[in-house]
Amino acid sequence: MTAVLTQPRPIRLKGRSFLALALSPELPFEDWLVRLDDLAARSAGFFLRRPAVLDVSELKIDRSELRALVEQLAKRNVRIMGIEGARPSLLGPDMPPAMSDGRPASDFEAPTAEKSEGTEGDETEAAGAPAAEARMPAVPPAGRAMPSVIVTQPVRSGQSLFFPDSDVTVVGSVASGAEIVAGGSIHVYGTLRGRALAGTTGNATARIFCRKLEAELISIDGFYKTAEDLDPELRGRAVQIWLEGESIKTETLG
Amino acid sequence: MGKVIVVTSGKGGVGKTTSSAALGAALAQNGDKVAVVDFDVGLRNLDLVMGAERRVVYDLVNVIQGEAKLTQALIRDKRVETLYLLPASQTRDKDNLTPEGVEKVIAALKKAFDWVICDSPAGIERGATLAMRHADIAIVVTNPEVSSVRDSDRIIGLLDSKTLKAENGERVEKHLLLTRYDPARAQRGDMLKVDDVLEILSIPLLGIIPESMDVLRASNLGAPVTLADGRSAPAMAYFDAVRRLKGEALPITIPGEKRGFFGKFFGRKAA
């Protein structure tokens, strides 16, 4: 007998963006670690509880060197949450996962800036303020107006458009295997065959509109439905999709 | 300055090599100087399809590594004077294809030929991206079948982002070549319809090549289908595609449609 799940509670998949410290080690690592130790010695706890990403995109290293570096950092209580710019062959299952599409944010102010011989008291004070600022990324207030992005070309299979802070309008189709992730609403003036994830940054009022629905997956604020869960009546029709409480609602458009 | 065409698809076995050879031979028969370049290092086939497998001395990798001159590696076709083949290496590793080397070879070929046709390997790895890198025109070969269409869509995305033209803010001219089209199966609904493929890929159609035993026969003979039997249905479809490529506004004929559609229609009326 096959078990039939009636009304399974959907699993929420939410997008979140965090501000992480990106460390860009330089070769040779021994020297770089000495400088890091120097920095840590002068500001105890700088790395404590801070998510750190290792950026190795400019480095020519092999897997064992990278593993050794991660271990060295762990010894210094720097926990690496992800590695950016590494070839897949460099990463193993026991290593931090690969991260990509990082967007630059304001630099973290190291507690001991480049000027090496300064008066100690001044330095720590000056460094304290900007570091605190960097730790608190500007969180836009809720209910703000969403800027809008317009895409005038078809979105091809394998492409992923990620606009965490805006509505997205596509003049054209979204192919099977393509993906649009938006903080706001998604409008597709064509056939939606791929995935559309609207309101991913916690916006339950976001909606998805398309001229022809053939989507593989749609999601609003982390609640999602796959093609199988969608009413077959809606296939090929112009549809709008929104969220009411915790359920996804659909309706054909004129 | 010649034009560089990449014949690409993403998926394997859809007819890239067959089409590269057929289009090259068709263009050369008009008197244009054509070089067909095999980028499938390690799995070369173009030499077989063009019947030059026993004349390969040097190859693309030799030229890139400076072990041979371009003129030494180019093989002139025995049937059409203006058709040349630059074979791929069968034994070397594909990592020997360097971006700088490919750039040099393509630049030299562009000077000497009217058309440089790059036969891309399947996939989206190094060989495929290097084959499309310098293209002015892309011919996307697709079968009327969902996985082929999706892979072609992926390739079109890469053509719009990874080519030199795309990086300079220009656009690669893209054309769809629908191959292995079987009118009977399309009518039964076993295959995607032409309109469906066009709707999904939204690039202009260059031609529809019918599925035919002539293609296989020509390959086994070592002759591009446009040379083996110019009167066969696939050969005529390739000749038409070449005329469209050169800018002629030729209406597209869907193989078998006339007979299939009208035959049935009138047949029923008469009865």
Give the pLDDT score at A51. Answer: 73
Partner-chain contact B200 A159, CB within 8 Å: no
Partner-chain contact B154 A156, CB within 8 Å: yes
Residue among A153, A157, A159 minimizing CB distance to B150: A157
Give the pLDDT score at A146. Answer: 75
Chain B, 169-208: which have a CB under 8 Å from a chain A CB?
199-200, 202
Partner-chain contact B200 A172, CB within 8 Å: no
Question: What backbone torsions phi and psi does residue A147 show, to the nearest 5 degrees?
Answer: -65, 165
Q: Can you spell out the DSSP letters for B34-90?
A: EEEEE--TTS--HHHHTT-GGG--S-HHHHHTTSS-HHHH-EE-SS-TTEEEEPPPS
> Which residues does chain B have within 8 Å of residue A156's beta carbon, measured at their own beta carbons?
153-154, 156-157, 160
Q: Tokens for B154?
A: 């992926």
CB A202 within 8 A of CB A221: yes
Give the pLDDT score at A105. Answer: 63
DSSP A155: B
Chain A, 85-104: which have a CB under 8 Å from a chain B CB?
none
Is the full-model pTM beyond 0.90? Answer: no
Give me the tens of pLDDT residue by residue for chain A, a chain 254 residues long: 556 656 667 677 777 777 777 788 888 888 888 887 877 777 666 666 667 888 888 778 888 888 888 888 888 778 888 888 877 777 778 888 888 777 666 565 555 444 434 334 343 333 333 333 333 334 444 455 678 999 999 999 999 999 988 999 999 999 999 999 999 999 999 999 999 999 988 899 999 999 999 999 999 998 989 998 899 999 999 999 999 998 999 999 97
Contacts of A181 (CB under 8 A, 6+ apart): A15, A160, A161, A162, A163, A164, A197, A200
Asked if A189 is an interface residue toward chain B (Cβ–Cβ < 8 A), one would say no
Count, in order, helices (H) and strands (E) of chain A. 3, 15
Give me the tens of pLDDT residue by residue for chain B, a chain 271 residues long: 899 999 999 999 999 999 999 999 999 999 999 999 999 998 899 999 999 988 999 999 999 999 999 999 999 999 999 999 999 988 888 788 999 999 999 999 999 999 999 999 999 999 999 999 999 999 999 999 999 999 999 999 999 999 999 999 999 999 999 999 998 888 888 899 999 999 999 999 999 999 999 999 999 999 999 999 889 999 999 999 999 999 999 999 877 655 444 444 443 333 3
CB A156 within 8 A of CB B154: yes
Give the pLDDT score at A107. Answer: 62
Q: Where are the alpha helices (DSSP H) in chain A?
A: 29-42, 63-75, 120-135
> Which residues does chain B have within 8 Å of residue A154's beta carbon, measured at their own beta carbons?
202
Distance (Å, whole) CA A252 – CA A254: 7
Q: Which residue of B has its CA nearest to A174?
A: B200
| Mutation target among A151, A156, A191 for the B interface, most CBs of B within 10 A | A156
* DSSP 3-state of A129: helix
Task: Measure B192 CA to nearest chain A CA, in Å.
Answer: 15
Partner-chain contact B157 A173, CB within 8 Å: no
Q: Which residue of B has its CA nearest to A158?
A: B154
Partner-chain contact A175 B200, CB within 8 Å: yes
Partner-chain contact A156 B156, CB within 8 Å: yes
Task: Measure A59 CA to nearest chain B CA, in Å.
Answer: 20
Asked if A159 is an interface residue toward chain B (Cβ–Cβ < 8 A), one would say yes
Distance (Å, whole) CA B38 – CA B60: 8
DSSP A227: G
Asked if A158 is an interface residue toward chain B (Cβ–Cβ < 8 A), one would say yes
Give the pLDDT score at A109. Answer: 55
Give the pLDDT score at B135. Answer: 96
Reported ipTM exceeds the 0.85 cut? no
Residue among B153, B158, B160 minimizing CB distance to A175: B153
